[in-house]
Amino acid sequence: MSGYRFRILPTPYEQAARAKQRSQLSKALTVTLFALPGMMVFTLFLLIPIIQSSYISLYRWDGFGPLTEFVGLGNYDRLLNHSVFQASVSHSFLIMLLSLAVQLPMALGLALLVGRGNLRGKGLFRTVLFVPYVFSEVITALIWRYVLYPQSDGMVNTVLGTFIPGFEAIEWLADRNLVLYSLFAVLTWKYFGFYMILYMAGLQNVPKDLEDAARVDGATEPQVLRQITLPLLGSTIRLTVFLSVLGSFQQFVLAWVLTNEGGPANASQLIATYLYKFGIQQWWLGYGSAVAVVLFGITLLFSLGYQRIIMRQDYAISRD
Amino acid sequence: MQKGYRLAMLLVAILPLALGVPSLAQDEVTINWWHIQTETSQAAYWQSLADAYMAENPNVTIEITILENNAFKERLAPIMQAGDPPDLFQSWGGAVLWKFADNGLMRNIAPELEGEWKDSFAAQAALELFGQNGEYYGVPWDWGAVGMFYNKALFEEAGLDPEKPPQTWTELLDAVQTLKDAGITPITLGEGEKWPGHFWWVYLALRLGGGEAFLAAYDRSGSFADAPFVQAGEYLKQLIDLDPFDDGFLGLTWPDSAGVFGNGEAAMLLMGQWAPGAQAQYSESGEGLAEGVMGWFPFPAVEGGAGNPGDALGGGNGFVIGANAPDETIDFLKYITTAEAQLAGSEIWLLPVVKGVDEAFEDDPIMQAIVEARDAAPYSQLYYDQFLPPAVGEAVNDAVETIFAGMATPEEAAQAIEDIASFELQ
């Protein structure tokens, strides 16, 4: 070995390239560092459980001991043929459709009224209408159990009985044909305040001068609403539809407590309550996992499709 | 003072070492105890026993968690599946407990139980539900029977003899009709929770098929679609067709119906031995029916049924010991099943299971009647939803609810149970 040591000095060009590389490296490092906590939480509490559930759903398992009894798609087979599951899916769809048809328009109307109109005491109404959303779901359900108590001394029945002569007590939560609508009414009471606030925020972004300009041009109020306000509120409306649909499919706590575990006789079973009752309570964790995978599939398909097709324009706008 | 105390502690710590025995006795231990007696006087009773034990054993701390029945079941399952049982907790014995034990979650107390403690139990059949294959995981502290509580005043009002309650199914149907004609709600039922209604169907199945039909269906030599189980639904339908229950009973909970009975708004209630306490607690006055108004009779005999009219549906409450419980837990369990403790419990409507408590219920004819029915029963049927695995128990509750709701025929309901049973019981 000779005593010389050679070192090739970098050319200025190489130096620049290296600097660029370094800055790229540090950028990548920054991104990684910032993303890491989020990714870890996402992986640990979302990705892994999803994979685990899919795996468990292929077994018959009561939650004790290791997974040993492989049943392939047997759980899915049982599930799709179970009349109560089929009913639960249609109940969830009904709640979703009613939410879109009743809850959102109502929230929008109230938002226009208390956010825009010349109503006296707007601030008070705004607060009062938002209060139900602040209650916890369990408390809401327990309060409404009293309000909708199925006997003649229940609150709603007493009130109706006072005004309507010869009124017969309505079994709000005990009538199989009525219970879903009772549940929907309570869901509406609880959640319309949330959508109302979103709409009010959206209305803030609708420029007043545009509406005024339309009025100057001779547009009537309904025309202003239809041609100016609603289109400009579009992104908020699309967002609320998205939240409302997902919320309907994932609804659990309020429905569970209010209807006594989806009763009477499963008449108000939703997908999530079905999962809990037939999966968790009966110690059928493999079966319950299959329900979870189906529910996940439905919501995933909807979210991806909706975001791709309907909400795409909103993302494009927000990037500009 | 301080010095003396320290010296004493030092001695206490050193003495066992000097004697060459481990100082286990004075180790600080904590016993986690889960019970479901939310009713005020009963919760206070457990607390008083824990306090007394802690006073005698200063090294033991007992931490009590009180959970409502349903909440307890729902919280226990995941905790057991996670392998972390409480030290001492409520159990009804049967399949659920055995399942825990098979997975190494329970502590076998057979060595400690053997001998004097075991012999102290009067209700040996009850004890057997808390063990299997020569192992025991806990002991019962209360054991009773489900029967009909009735309101003598309302019976009288309807023109029925309050001292001669119905003894057969036909007489019961007649009494229901008479009460209805008098404008009285014959029966209160909290079917929203399902298990109160399953008593009706199970009792009918018991009267019609006896214990044999159930045991055959359980060991799979028979089936839940067999004749007695279908007939049980048919008999139940006879009753349902009379429309004897509260308005909206499909949506009422057990506390709701206990309140209805305690307010004197319905004539009958098919329930277990905890009903007297509950009807008082959930009534509007907080006192329940006036003294002497409440009566009790066993579930009526069914004409031509294969079962003995003395057979009783019932069950008891017990406490069982988790796998990781400290030794003191067993000693404490022994302490709360002494005759003195049981006698104190009988004052708040807990039915003792040990010997030497003859003076219990001396002036309570209802509880006496329940104890008699319990002790005289040729066959004791534990609640289906405890004896059977959870999925089958739920299937029974669900199927019976569909009969009450008029959604399923008796055949369909029995078949629905059999579908799950054939899948779960092997």
Within-domain flag for B306:
yes
Residue B6, domain member (yes or no): no
Question: Chain B contacts of A183, Cβ < 8 Å?
Answer: none
Whether B164 and B289 map to the same domain: the answer is yes
Instruction: Say which residue the tokens 């059949």 belong to.
Output: B125
Q: Where are the domains of chain A?
A: 79-319
Question: Is B393's pLDDT higher than 50?
Answer: yes
pLDDT number for residue B123: 75
Q: How far is CA A260 from CA A25, A173, A252, A254, in A?
A: 57, 9, 12, 10
pLDDT at residue A137, rounded to an integer? 94
Q: Clarify whether residues B99 and B208 are in a common domain.
A: no
> Among A120-134, B22-36, B201-215, B250-264, where is mean pLDDT lowest?
B22-36
**Nearest-by-Cβ selection for B248 from A171, A265, A285:** A171
Q: H helices within B194-226, ranges in order?
A: 195-218
**How many A×B Cβ pairs under 8 Å?**
82
Q: If 0-12 CB within 10 Å is exposed, 13-18 middle and 19+ buried, where does residue A2 land?
A: exposed
Q: Is B28 on the interface with A (CB under 8 A)?
A: no
* B139 CB neighbour count, 10 Å cutoff: 29
- Residue B9, domain member (yes or no): no
Question: What are the Cα distances from residue B404, in Å, to A73, A265, B394?
Answer: 34, 9, 15
Query: How many Cβ atoms from other residues are within 10 Å of residue A111's Cβ?
Result: 25
Q: Which residues of A touch B413 (CB under 8 A)?
A: none
A232-242 residue pLDDT tens: 999 999 999 99
In a domain, B18, yes or no: no
Nearest CA-CA partner of A64 in B315, B156, B106 = B106
Output A249 or B11, whichever has higher pLDDT: A249
Domain at B269, CATH number? 3.40.190.10
- Put simply, the answer to whether B407 touches A265 (Cβ < 8 Å) is yes
Chain A hits for B77, Cβ within 8 Å: 63, 280-281, 283
Question: Is the separation of the CB atoms in B410 and B400 below 8 Å?
Answer: no
Q: Is B385 on the interface with A (CB under 8 A)?
A: no
Query: Tell me: domain A79-319, CATH 2.40.128.20, correct?
Result: no
Q: Give the percent of chain A with pLDDT over 90.
A: 65
Least confident of A307-311, B29-33, B406-410: A307-311
pLDDT digits 0-9 by tens, B127-182: 888 998 999 999 999 888 999 999 999 999 999 999 999 999 999 999 999 999 99
**Confidence bin at B298 (pLDDT 50/70/90):** very high
Across the strands, what pairs with B315? B144
Whether residue B346 contacts residue B361, with contact meaning beta carbons closer than 8 Å, is answered with yes
Q: Confirm whether B112 is domain-assigned.
A: yes
State the pLDDT at residue B16. Answer: 46
Q: B170 phi and psi, to 5 degrees?
A: -60, -45
Length of chain A, in residues = 320
**H or E element, residue B140:** strand B138-145
pLDDT for the residue A96: 96
Q: Would an 8 Å CB–CB cutoff place B391 in contact with chain A?
A: yes
Please answer whether residues B176 and B266 qualify as being in contact, where contact means their C-beta atoms are separated by less than 8 angstroms.
Answer: no
Domain of residue B219 covers: 147-313+382-424
Indicate the helix (H) or strand (E) that contains B186: strand B185-187
Interface of B with A in 120-159 (CB under 8 A): none
Domain boundary among B361, B376, B391: B376
What is the token pair recorded at A173? 């939560």
Nearest Cβ partner for B390 among A149, A265, A283: A283
Q: Are A113 and A124 in contact (CB under 8 A)?
A: no
Cα(A284)–Cα(B270) distance, integer angstroms: 31
More confident residue, A140 or B8: A140
- Answer yes or no: do B243 and B280 share one domain: yes
CB within 8 Å: A64 and B103: yes
Same domain, residue pair B309 and B405: yes
Half-sphere exposure at residue A68, Cβ-oriented, CA atoms within 13 angstroms: 4
Joined together, the tokens standing for residue A34 give 């910032």
Cα angle, residue B290 at apex, residues B287 and B292 outer, rounded to 5°: 135
Q: What pLDDT is stored for residue A311 in this prediction?
A: 84
What pLDDT shows up at residue B128?
A: 87
Chain B neighbors of A171, CB-CB under 8 A? 247-248, 250-251
In whole angstroms, how far apart are CA B422 and each of B223, B226, B364?
8, 13, 44
What is the pTM (predicted TM-score) of this model? 0.85
Mark whether B318 and B211 lie in a shared domain: no
Rg of the Cα atoms in chain A: 28
* B231 and B327 belong to one structural domain: no
Q: In what helix (H) or strand (E) does residue B296 lie, and over which residues does it extend?
A: strand B294-297
For chain A, what percent of residues have pLDDT higher than 70? Answer: 97
Say whether both B324 and B349 belong to one domain: yes
Structure tokens at A300: 């995933």
Residues of A with CB under 8 A from a CB of B: 62-65, 149-152, 169, 171-176, 179, 260, 263-266, 277, 280-285
**Quick one: pLDDT band at residue B18, thresholds 50, 70, 90?**
very low
Q: Do residues B138 and B88 both lie within one domain?
A: yes
Determine contact, residues A200/A115, Cβ cutoff 8 Å.
yes
Lowest mean pLDDT among A5-19, A103-117, B233-247: A5-19
Contact B250 A263 (CB under 8 A): yes
**Residue B34: what pLDDT?**
97
Could you give the ipTM of this predicted complex? Answer: 0.82
The confidence score (pLDDT) of residue A126 equals 86
Banded pLDDT at B7 (limits 50, 70, 90): low
Instruction: Report angle CA A15, A19, A21 to the nearest 5 degrees.
Output: 115
CA dihedral B164, B169, B173, B174 (to 10 degrees): -50
Instruction: Give the up-direction half-sphere exposure of residue A315: CA atoms within 13 A in the CB hemisphere.
Output: 7
- The Cα-based distances of B359 to A60, B112, B120, B342 in angstroms read 52, 28, 16, 11
Q: If you write DSSP's letter for every residue of A132-162 in order, what string do you get?
A: HHHS-HHHHHHHHHHHT-SSTTSHHHHHHHH
Q: One-letter amino acid identity for B231?
A: Q
Helices then strands, each counted (H, E), chain A: 17, 2
B320 and B406 both lie in a single domain: no
Quick one: B283 and B352 in the same domain? no
| DSSP 8-state assignment for residue B408 | S
What's the whole-number mean pLDDT along residues A19-40? 89
More confident residue, A1 or A52: A52
pLDDT of residue A14: 78
pLDDT given at position A185: 96
Count of the separate structural domains present in chain B: 2
Is B5 a member of any domain?
no
Asked if residue B177 and residue B79 are part of one domain, the reply reads no
Helix (H) / strand (E) element for B144: namely: strand B138-145
Q: Does a structural domain hold residue B40? A: yes
- pLDDT exceeds 60 at position B13: no
Residue B271 and residue B283 in one domain: yes
Residue B202 CA to residue B190 CA, distance in Å, equals 16
